[in-house]
Amino acid sequence: MANIKCENCGNDISSKASSCPMCGHPNEKDYCISMGEQFVFLIIAIGIIWGVVMGLEMHFENKKVDIYEQVALDAVEQYNIVKQAEEHAKICLHARIVTAAYLQTNDEAKIQQWKAIEEDECRM
């Protein structure tokens, strides 16, 4: 840490001091931060912003997956309702809708399960 002369009394003071300890004159140079300090601050700020953005992205990605899963569950529920009506064309259509809904979830086991159901339901 460098020493500087007080502009008022000439006393040696720290360049970081907010005022001279002898006369109380404010040190206008204490607000200047070095290039190294500015660089460190910039890196920290970028890190914080990056962390917030990544956190938000993960949050919304998880929400999107939850929504896709709920859509698929709703489609299964609609399929079960239509299946009770025993109308072949509608049952086939709803089996295809469930398969399409599971495609959005990327749940490979459910996709294969519903493709098999769809195949069975859509046979003529």
In a domain, 26, yes or no: no
- Check: CB of residue 6 under 8 Å from CB of residue 25: yes
73 within domain boundaries? yes
Q: Is 94 a domain residue?
A: yes
Q: Please name which of 17, 21, 15 lies closest in space to residue 1, comparing C-alpha atoms.
A: 15
Number of domains the chain contains: 1
Residue 98: inside a domain: yes
Enclosing domain of residue 88: 34-121
Q: What is the pTM of this model?
A: 0.51
- How many percent of the chain have pLDDT more than 70? 94
- Tell me the per-residue pLDDT of 53-103, one tens digit each, with 9 for 90 and over: 888 888 887 777 788 899 999 999 999 999 998 888 999 999 999 999 999
**114 domain residue, yes or no:** yes
Angle at 107 between CA 64 and CA 57, to 5 degrees: 25
Assess contact for 11 and 5: CB atoms under 8 A: yes
Encode pLDDT of 45-63 as tens digits: 999 999 888 888 888 877 7
- Identity of the residue numbered 4: I
pLDDT at 30: 58
